[in-house]
Amino acid sequence: MPSSINRPRGTIDVLPGEVEKWQYVEESFRRICREYGYAEIRTPVFEHTELFDRGVGDTTDIIEKEMYTFLDRSERSLSLRPEGTAPIARAYVEDKLFSGPQPVKVYYQGPMFRYDRPQAGRYRQFHQLGVEVFGSAAPAIDAEVVAMAMDFCWRFGLKLDLHINSVGCGVCRPVMRDKLCASLKTRLEDLCGDCRIRLDKNPLRILDCKVKRCREMAEETAAGLNFLCPECADHFRETLGYLDALNVAYIVDPCLVRGLDYYTRTAFEIMAPGVGAQRSVGGGGRYDGLVEMFGGPPTSGIGYAMGLERFLLVMQEQGLTVPDGGRLDVYLVTAEKDLEGRALTLLQELRAKGICADKDYTGRSMKAQLKQAGKSGAPYVVILGSDELSKGKVALRDMLAGSQTEVPLADLPAQFLKK
């Protein structure tokens, strides 16, 4: 007996019954993207490792401990993409999208890979829905991107909080970081162990430390700094103004700093209120230096990504369902074995007209076929029997009402098409 093989840790099989929800969310995302003027882009699932080292930042957790990196047969170091923005910025440069009309608005959906410790709502292969806009530094596009993300969630009836902040630019952020460090270093003994390390590696992260003491201390210090340069301050104020105009409620959260190095100015996160550590459903922000870092012209950019698994999880928590599609229109039952051939051709005729139809293929009794029909969810059953057939008719059974009529074979497709 060969031993069974399981799926790798942190991965899931999306089975019939569940996959319909995925499809519904994915299709809804496509629709809203089209409405907002985005075109789809597809990039490889793996890239040169260096792309992420440079783009995401080689001191981030994602790069330091979460990448699926491997050597291919030619000894190239490749990595499964841990996120979508760097590859798309790469494509923007490599495929010279900067030479076309600007801004370039693209969306993507697909799997991402991170070697994390799995938990509910957190997987090693997970799926993101995201958008990126290149070539506009206008606060209005910040607002549109954020508003679109919220619009998408609202369409499902999701109740989520929008946290937003400005993390400054290449000019004012380093100044702020230095001041924060200097200030915190004087109180080193008050910081938790993690934060002492963070102080050297990524001091901004102290702002969202779980240890209350650190957090309070950092908040105090940060609030006192009021660090944004006039340009960044204006940009942030205008962005918030547009959000107000769009009736998008937000929480300005001075402690919101995102884990990827490339963010500038606007940073935001969409959080599910309440339970669980994985409350972040999506997030994004501006990344004005990224394209240049990849050898492209100075180009501003902004985008966000949402986690499909988390989106679904929150939907479930909030008791939201999706309309169930994928049902059959009709199930075909044969009363006698020798009608099998006739059943097959009838089935094909119906399908050719776009009617979703199926039958049994395990040689069940008629009674059992009806039972299967019931389970299939098909609202109608067509019963093929020699009595009716001799009159050129079939029996059409309404499974909800439990009633049955005889219908001429020729009229059959019309029965379903009008519904």
Partner RNA sequence: GUGGAUGUAGCUCAGAUGGUUAGAGCACCAGAUUGUGGCUCUGGGGGUCGUGGGUUCAAAUCCCAUCUUCCACCCCA
CB of residue 19 vs RNA: minimum separation in angstroms? 16
- In this complex, which beta carbon is closest to RNA, that of residue 102 or of residue 125? 125
Beta-carbon contacts of residue 283 (< 8 Å; ≥ 6 apart)? 258, 267, 268, 269, 270, 304, 305
Q: Using the rule CB under 7 A, is 164 a contact of RNA?
A: no
Q: Quick one: which of 14, 36, 69, 118 contacts RNA (CB under 7 A)?
A: 118
Q: Using the rule CB under 7 A, is 73 a contact of RNA?
A: no
Query: Site size for RNA, by CB under 7 A?
Result: 75
What stretch of H or E contains 241?
helix 230-245
Q: Please answer whether residues 264 and 209 qualify as being in contact, where contact means their C-beta atoms are separated by less than 8 angstroms.
A: no
Q: Please answer whether residues 136 and 300 qualify as being in contact, where contact means their C-beta atoms are separated by less than 8 angstroms.
A: yes
Span from 56-64, 102-110, 183-191, 227-235 in contact with RNA (CB under 7 A): 56-64
DSSP state of 253: -
Q: Please answer whether residues 129 and 109 qualify as being in contact, where contact means their C-beta atoms are separated by less than 8 angstroms.
A: yes
Q: Using the rule CB under 7 A, is 62 a contact of RNA?
A: yes
CB of residue 419 vs RNA: minimum separation in angstroms? 17
Q: Please answer whether residues 131 and 38 qualify as being in contact, where contact means their C-beta atoms are separated by less than 8 angstroms.
A: yes
Q: Please answer whether residues 303 and 131 qualify as being in contact, where contact means their C-beta atoms are separated by less than 8 angstroms.
A: yes
**DSSP string for residues in 110-135:** EEEE--PPPBTTB-SEEEEEEEEEES
CB of residue 343 vs RNA: minimum separation in angstroms? 12
In Å, what is the CA distance from 257 to each residue of 190, 236, 284? Answer: 21, 15, 11
- In this complex, which beta carbon is closest to RNA, that of residue 305 or of residue 347? 305
Beta-carbon contacts of residue 93 (< 8 Å; ≥ 6 apart)? 291, 294, 295, 296
Q: Using the rule CB under 7 A, is 402 a contact of RNA?
A: yes
Sites for RNA among residues 263-292 (CB under 7 A): 269, 276-283
CB of residue 63 vs RNA: minimum separation in angstroms? 10
- In this complex, which beta carbon is closest to RNA, that of residue 74 or of residue 362? 362
Span from 9-17, 69-77, 140-148, 158-166 in contact with RNA (CB under 7 A): 9-17
- In this complex, which beta carbon is closest to RNA, that of residue 97 or of residue 383? 383
Q: Quick one: which of 105, 173, 198, 359 contacts RNA (CB under 7 A)?
A: 198
**DSSP string for residues in 173-188:** HHHHHHHHHHHHHTTG
Span from 110-118, 159-167, 243-251, 318-326 in contact with RNA (CB under 7 A): 110-118
Q: Quick one: which of 131, 145, 395, 396 contacts RNA (CB under 7 A)?
A: 395
Span from 123-131, 148-156, 169-177, 224-232 in contact with RNA (CB under 7 A): 123-131
The residue type found at 397 is R
What is the separation, in whole angstroms, between the first and last Cα of the chain? Answer: 51
- E strands present in 2-124: 39-40, 46-48, 69-71, 77-80, 104-113
Q: Using the rule CB under 7 A, is 69 a contact of RNA?
A: no
CB of residue 231 vs RNA: minimum separation in angstroms? 25
Q: Using the rule CB under 7 A, is 55 a contact of RNA?
A: no
Q: Using the rule CB under 7 A, is 45 a contact of RNA?
A: no
